[in-house]
Amino acid sequence: MKKNNGNDSVKNNCNKSLNNQTKNDSLNKGFKNPRYVKDEEAIIKTIFESIPKESQITTARFEGPNIALYTKNPRFSLTELTYYLSSLSKTLKKRFIVRTDQSIRLQEDETRSIVSKILPRDVIVSAVFCDDATGEVILEVNKPESVISETIINIAQSTGWITHLRRSPHIPSMSINNIHTVLKSSSKERTNFFRELGKRVFREPLIKKGDENVESENLLERASVIDKQSKTWNNKEVYIFCLGGVKQVGRSCFIVVTSESKIMLDCGINPGENNAIDAYPRIDWFDFKLEDLDAIIISHAHIDHQGFLPTLFKYGYDGPVYCTEPTLPLMNLLQSDSVKIAQNNGVYCPYEVRDINEIIKHCITLPYGKPTDISPDITITLNNAGHIMGSATVHINISGAHNILYSGDYKYAKTQLLDSAVSNYPRVETLITESTYGASSDIMPDQGIVYNSFTETINKTLTSGGKVLIPVPAVGRAQEIMLVLDKEMKDGRLIESPIYIEGMISEASAIHMSYAHYLGQDVRRSVSHGINPFQSEYFTVVNGWGKRDEVLKDQNPAIIMATSGMLEGGPSVEYFKEIATKENNKMIFVSYQINGTLGRRMLDGNTNEVSMMDKNGKVKVIPLKCKTQKIDGFSGHSDFNQILSFVSRIKPKRVLVNHGERSKSENTASTIYNKLGIRSSVPDNREILKLR
Ligand SMILES: [Zn+2]
């Protein structure tokens, strides 16, 4: 987290406006008291009339983005009832979720013992977590693929808990354990939250069908955000507010505004900036009320997409956060690490652990490909973006009339770790695409060529007796590089040497194993055959100072992978202090280096030395003597050609280009227009665009 000079006016303004708002919140709890509930009683009555008594549904109610049905007969409700529900779903245009009635749920201990009797012998349970708020039992098992649906029904019938399977990681994941603890301690709070959210998602629309240009107090309130003079709102209009992440990489944040809803897409920070005005999304810029937000959607766990989210909770946001299942623990890991780094280095962090925990309580995780209603006029679908595990493109359907596809960060090609980004959409009017590698010269070589040059350059250093430092982001690139190093060494192309791994990489790899079903087809296949791709005879995990000193003092050649990826804090910086000073060492950068970071300065090559604190707190001048090399082909971003083929596959009517340095975004936009004939532009931060 960034140093703060304490008198930054924007941060103060931002705090002031948010503080006022928190005060208002306590008087006018907009989110907690939704103004309207749409026909809930009538809908529930229809449901009860349409389903067989045998299902023993005791309660039906709006809950989160679904209608929850509570059953005393899980066997029937998970099998035969689903046929009735799928036709009801079509007529009511609502989605259902079956939960168990609280009265039939056994205690966790009892559940654990029954579960181990029901599961096949070769399936070993490493953790059982019963979530009272959802009636789900999360089972961590060694072989989730061996558990068939009949077994899951048996468990539900015998224990009263509906099974959610997860793979046991090779080491326990602190983040996942923390999530379970927070969920457990907040089950009542979450039950209420789901209930209130249900009322809000299915509230009476502000504008009735066929009624356009209607005047109302509520509408004016919303319209005033766009135009203070506006007296009416046309219900077909869709606006997008750019709060960050355009003409730059970092602090990605948009707000989509319709006549009914406001939803935020990503909420990142810019790790290369120190001042709040440049580091955080510009939520200070318009009359922004957190309670007006219907939802926040996080595309993936990188901090430039979610690093400001805890701060919103700190200042009173209490609505839902939607993301994929692996994004929650990965995000939790990175946020907790930011707090830890700030504490250790005595620098400012705008949020605390309790704000991170609020995210866990308000998070609704979605699988890929499941359309979910998040407000009266918005349905979202998350799909694989191929960037890091759990990364998603966000498809936003607005009343069936306008579709936005927000790409987040994406890779339109297969990698070792992940499948290529999903690109088959029947209809997209507006595509928002990233352009990290948006210059025409940003063409990545074929994987084979990338691996060869990676292996060759490492071999050169190892033969000369040097050490190779690879600074890696803990999430994504680290796992990709681990797979490649292991394969190259096993196949005999890379000289055998120890590979030291330090930082959050092991924890992130544990999360990758837990959610292995989110990885690419090849890795999934080997995981299901019992192979853990993140454990190899060549890997040694380094824990703490002592071991790190040993690694550095050892005269033998070695490969070191350490976080952070841009040399902004973390063990990679500690290794850097030693590795950089010797000519026969090498640093290899495998991920994008944001402007202003030490990694970027190293790559730009215009510095001969860097001043840094040593471990005794004294300033030390570090001469930069080691070799540096950048290998682009490992990037989790699409290269220039991949961006173009993604856009031409999606066939949108209009493209907005974001997440790139200005010249790269502009080049992407003009090429899309010139080559594909699609209207395309690069907005500005603090610009409002009318999409419809
Ligand atoms: Zn990213």
Torsion of CA 473, 474, 480, 486, to 10 degrees: 120
Q: Coil, helix or strand for 575? A: helix
Q: How many helices (H) and strands (E) does the chain have?
A: 23, 28
Q: What is the Å distance from ligand 1's center to 302 Cα?
A: 5
Order of all β-strands in the sheet with 363-366: 363-366, 321-324, 295-297, 262-265, 253-257, 239-244, 688-690
Q: Please report the pLDDT score of residue 286 as a whole number.
A: 67
Q: What is the Å distance from ligand 1's center to 269 Cα?
A: 12
Q: What is the Å distance from ligand 1's center to 592 Cα?
A: 9
* pLDDT for residue 417 is more than 80: yes
Q: What is the Å distance from ligand 1's center to 193 Cα?
A: 30
* pLDDT for residue 104 is more than 60: yes
Q: What is the Å distance from ligand 1's center to 20 Cα?
A: 33
Q: What is the Å distance from ligand 1's center to 244 Cα?
A: 15
Q: What is the Å distance from ligand 1's center to 487 Cα?
A: 25
Q: Can you state the angle between helices 327-345 and 174-185, rounded to 10 degrees?
A: 100
Q: Please report the pLDDT score of residue 234 as a whole number.
A: 62
Question: Contact, 614 vs 620, CB < 8 A?
Answer: yes
Q: What is the Å distance from ligand 1's center to 387 Cα?
A: 7
| Confidence band for 213, pLDDT divided at 50, 70 and 90 | low
Mean pLDDT for the stretch of residues 74-101:
94
Q: What is the Å distance from ligand 1's center to 475 Cα?
A: 9
Mean pLDDT for the stretch of residues 532-558:
90
Q: Please report the pLDDT score of residue 211 as a whole number.
A: 55
Q: Please report the pLDDT score of residue 210 as a whole number.
A: 56
pTM of the model: 0.88
Q: What is the Å distance from ligand 1's center to 39 Cα?
A: 41
Q: What is the Å distance from ligand 1's center to 16 Cα?
A: 30
Q: What is the pairing mode between strands 66-71 and 57-63?
A: antiparallel
User: pLDDT tens digit string along 81-94?
Assistant: 999 999 999 888 89
Backbone angles phi, psi at 41, to 5 degrees: -60, -45
* pLDDT for residue 227 is more than 60: no
* pLDDT for residue 571 is more than 70: yes
| Confidence band for 38, pLDDT divided at 50, 70 and 90 | low
Structure tokens at 131: 């979530």
What element of type H or E holds 658?
Answer: strand 654-658
Q: Please report the pLDDT score of residue 537 as a whole number.
A: 92
| Total residue count of the chain as it appears in this document | 692
- Determine the Cα–Cα distance for residues 404 and 453; give it in Å rounded to an integer: 39
- The alpha carbon of 512 is separated from its chain's Cα centroid by a whole number of angstroms, namely 13
- DSSP codes joined into one string, 437-486: T-STT--PPPHHHHHHHHHHHHHHHHHTT-EEEEE--TTTHHHHHHHHHH
Delineate the domains of the chain, giving CATH numbers in brackets: 9-27+192-203+234-440+638-687 (3.60.15.10), 40-102 (3.30.300.20), 106-168 (3.30.300.20), 447-634 (3.40.50.10890)
Question: Contact, 251 vs 245, CB < 8 A?
Answer: yes
- DSSP codes joined into one string, 177-242: HHHHHHHHHTHHHHHHHHHHHHHHHTPPPSS-TT--SB--HHHHHHHHHH-TT---B-TT--EEEE
- Determine the Cα–Cα distance for residues 175 and 314; give it in Å rounded to an integer: 20
Q: What is the Å distance from ligand 1's center to 304 Cα?
A: 7
| Confidence band for 285, pLDDT divided at 50, 70 and 90 | confident
| Confidence band for 19, pLDDT divided at 50, 70 and 90 | very low
Query: Comparing 28 with 513, which gets the higher pLDDT?
Result: 513
Structure tokens at 206: 């502000």
User: pLDDT tens digit string along 591-601?
Assistant: 888 888 889 98
Using the CB atoms, write b or e for 650-684: b if 16+ within 10 Å. Answer: bebebbbbbbbbeebbbbbbebbeeeeebebbbbe
Q: What is the Å distance from ligand 1's center to 655 Cα?
A: 20
Q: What is the Å distance from ligand 1's center to 68 Cα?
A: 34
At a CB cut-off of 8 Å and minimum separation 6, what does 553 contact?
A: none
Mean pLDDT for the stretch of residues 503-520:
94
Q: What is the Å distance from ligand 1's center to 240 Cα?
A: 21
* pLDDT for residue 341 is more than 90: no
Q: What is the Å distance from ligand 1's center to 409 Cα?
A: 5
Q: What is the Å distance from ligand 1's center to 527 Cα?
A: 25
| Confidence band for 5, pLDDT divided at 50, 70 and 90 | very low
Q: What is the Å distance from ligand 1's center to 440 Cα?
A: 21
Q: Coil, helix or strand for 297? A: strand
- Determine the Cα–Cα distance for residues 498 and 558; give it in Å rounded to an integer: 5
